[in-house]
Structure 1
Amino acid sequence: AWLETVRIHKPRFVALHFQEVGGKDYMDNMGHAENFFWNIESSEEMRDFDRVCVYVDNHFKNVDSFTALGSMYFIHKSLKNIYQYDFNDKWGRHGCYFLVVRVDCVGCLLIVHCNICPSLRACLCDFCRGLDLINVHLFHDASNLIACNASPSIYSANRQKALRYVINRITDSSYTPLPFFLFGDFNFRLDTLSLVQNLSTSAEVQTVMKDCSNDVEKIICEEKDNEHKVLLHIETKMFAYLHQAVFREDNGRALLKYDKEITAFHDVITEEEILFPPSYPYSEDYTKPTQYMNTRCPSWCDRILMSHTAKDVIHRSNDGESRVVYNALGPNVCMGDHKPVFLSFALKTNGH
């Protein structure tokens, strides 16, 4: 599905970020990773990308230091001067001519269109001397029940601290500040307590406790009429809502008001408008590519965020036809429990 996206948008630079390289059983599957990357690199859609950088941690037996983050960067043959920043030398390995990409270490895809023209060199010096591309994977919600305890949840608070740490590292005065794109699996979740309260407004709510314990085992919300059907059933790893279509109708826009985790960072980061359904947790049954699993509340976990300075270097057409596309990949194809997301855009030039 993502190769089809590359074919349609015809980018000149592609940044592909993975989380959980090798899958959940990475010790058994890491041996297949090299073939996976090679299949992407050798595909027909990527044949005009003559330079490829792949970053993956293959020391998976070193449990204390292993990271399952992986990144691939594809440079089109029409781009003659793109250099990677060296954090030790604090400069591009071969100098900066057009663009410097600094890399810091389910996937997200960033597609950049660079129209080579005589003014591009000056343009990138004026608007975009370089870009920081950061791959991120934040903590998940371990228990749906605990997520329902408070608003915001303890998990949301932990993610906020972690993301603030990452942003502080990016903007550290040790390095020249650059426009940055932050993309990966943020594990952002809807405000679960507020959402559950809204979904169960007209329901009878029953809280079931564990035997000989004060811990909650499950929360069951039954409709007061309609033969007392179970409207919502929540357990540690179960979130089964009777009317699941609400998460897909109009791309779930009615639920975006519960997507609050990014609001604490509006001072430093922004995002294009979300016009796609929640990216997680999709069924892993290939015959049900549009159905969510009843394990977690569907949420927009996978995102592409950017600094305000990065948003300023994105070219936006004046003729009413936007060149910026922010969407999910494979809406009708099984992609695993996450639907990868992508952002396609053109960089500004002096003429725009």
Structure 2
Amino acid sequence: MLAHFFEPDARLHQSWLDTMKAKIDAENSDFVIIHMQETGGKKFAECSKQVPVLIERLRESLPQFSTMRAYADLEYESIEYTALGMVVFIRSSLLPNVYQFNFASHNYEPVKATGELVMSGLEKHKFIVKQKFPKHFWPAIKWGRKGYMQTRWKIKNKVFDFVNAHLFHDESNLALIHENPQLYSQNRKRALDFVLEELANLENGSAPLHFIFGDLNFRLDASSFLNKLTVRAAAHSLNDQEQTGSIGEGLEAPNNNLSPHPDLLRRTVSAIEFRRPSATEAIDGCVLRIEKKRFDYFNHAKLLDDWKSYLEDDKEATNFKQLHEIPINFPPTYPWSEDPEDSEALMKTRAPAWCDRVLMNNAAFEFIRGGGPTYESFGRETCTGDHKPVALSFSTRRPL
């Protein structure tokens, strides 16, 4: 996820390149595929031109690979713009056994030892399926860039579908408390179900190994997670007229003047504070303050250190019974500091979450289990933006 990675000063590029190169070199893989979301960043009109430069720099840093295929959706003025990107690196030793699926002719084509980057016309490109999610999935807000991109590869006699998905995010922290707690997860389920249906329609008589990986924006079960953080604390709602600030700066105890009517509640609540009667554990007794785009816990370092205690609240993947995942054994991948001087801390914008995932169908899951899979986040010591990348690696060195 590269939303805050592409900036005019390009200050995070070198650390990202170093992190990716170190990981790829360490794995010593023959076939590497990288999925990226928000390619070009939030300032895409200004920063999309950085994308081909970055991809070329990555390619130059990995001379062990003879072949590169890269696709980046940079046509930001198009109604079908998704900002998705993917890069594939293949070693020459594996290349004779690799074929890429042509979605136009429905045939597999041999891959030549060249470096290719495609940045336009992806809607009609023969090697790519790219779709933005239908507008009716989220009718109440501006139609965004969320969607998916698919490539298909045959390595010897096994067919691999690699799908880059970027699902809907949580627009408001407060909505999870005052409205429908499943509001955003239901939309993510609708979107990912759509992807799975499209994959089934494109199986073309084969039974591919499906790998769906990207920023799936999965979030914690809000009720269970908040109960853990706010033991012995009472919730107090604040309206727009009441004082705001940071827990670290100290907060005055405001009056609660809210009407109990739910419509008025949604209109006026600007923050919720969870306070304990004693001030011994937090400044002014405030344990947690939640605003639309702020999640301010009194001990944010502890929140990160204790991630195993709330991993059980990561339940959203269970909404997809047909998909599997290697057990998670790494800290939340979001929201990490975007400050290179403070890259090992979480930001106080959202609750921590495992947004960046690799899911797979049953055939893929059974296949990789025999190949000693590893599933981990990386780049924790360097600033790679507000998301930490996640990698799944496995061996196919057995009869395919």
For the superposition of Structure 1 and Structure 2, which TM-score range results when normalised by the shorter chain? 0.7 to 0.9
Amino acid at match of 2:212: L
1:245 aligns with 2:301: yes
In the alignment, the residues of structure 1 paired with residue 277 and residue 390 of structure 2 have an alpha-carbon distance, to the nearest angstrom, of 39
- Aligned residue in 2 for 1:19: 37
Amino acid at match of 1:207: S
- Aligned residue in 1 for 2:324: 270
Aligned partners of 2:275 and 2:288 also within 8 Å: yes
Residue correspondence of structure 1 range 46-85 to structure 2 within 5 A: 46-62=62-78, 64-79=79-94, 80-85=96-101
The superposition leaves residues 255-286 of structure 1 with CA deviations (integer Å, 9 ceiling, x where unpaired) of 121111110112x1101111110000001111
1:219 aligns with 2:272: yes
Residue correspondence of structure 1 range 325-336 to structure 2 within 5 A: 325-336=374-385
- Alignment gaps of 5+ in structure 2: 1-18, 112-126, 131-154, 242-257, 259-263
More relative contact order in 1 or in 2 (CA 8 Å, sep 6+)? Answer: 1
Tell me which protein shows more strand as a share of its residues. 1
1:166 aligns with 2:182: no
- Aligned residue in 1 for 2:368: 314
Aligned partners of 2:295 and 2:349 also within 8 Å: yes
Amino acid at match of 2:211: F
- Aligned residue in 1 for 2:399: 350
In the alignment, the residues of structure 1 paired with residue 357 and residue 302 of structure 2 have an alpha-carbon distance, to the nearest angstrom, of 21
The superposition leaves residues 138-161 of structure 1 with CA deviations (integer Å, 9 ceiling, x where unpaired) of 010000000223674200111011
1:39 aligns with 2:95: no
Aligned partners of 1:103 and 1:133 also within 8 Å: no
Aligned partners of 1:314 and 1:348 also within 8 Å: no
In the alignment, the residues of structure 2 paired with residue 174 and residue 341 of structure 1 have an alpha-carbon distance, to the nearest angstrom, of 27
In the alignment, the residues of structure 2 paired with residue 296 and residue 314 of structure 1 have an alpha-carbon distance, to the nearest angstrom, of 33
In the alignment, the residues of structure 1 paired with residue 101 and residue 362 of structure 2 have an alpha-carbon distance, to the nearest angstrom, of 21
Residue 315 (structure 1) shift: 5.3
Aligned partners of 1:54 and 1:70 also within 8 Å: yes
The superposition leaves residues 35-83 of structure 1 with CA deviations (integer Å, 9 ceiling, x where unpaired) of 111000111xx10111100101232222x12120000001111112311
Amino acid at match of 2:216: F
Q: Runs ≥4 in structure 1, deviation > 6 angstroms? A: none
Residue 190 (structure 1) shift: 0.5
Aligned partners of 2:219 and 2:316 also within 8 Å: yes
Q: CA RMSD in A?
A: 2.2
In the alignment, the residues of structure 2 paired with residue 90 and residue 19 of structure 1 have an alpha-carbon distance, to the nearest angstrom, of 27
Count of residue correspondences: 316
In the alignment, the residues of structure 1 paired with residue 346 and residue 229 of structure 2 have an alpha-carbon distance, to the nearest angstrom, of 17
- Alignment gaps of 5+ in structure 1: 96-101, 106-120, 318-322
Aligned partners of 1:315 and 1:346 also within 8 Å: no
1:292 aligns with 2:343: no
SS at match of 2:201: coil
The superposition leaves residues 162-194 of structure 1 with CA deviations (integer Å, 9 ceiling, x where unpaired) of 111111111226623311100000010111233
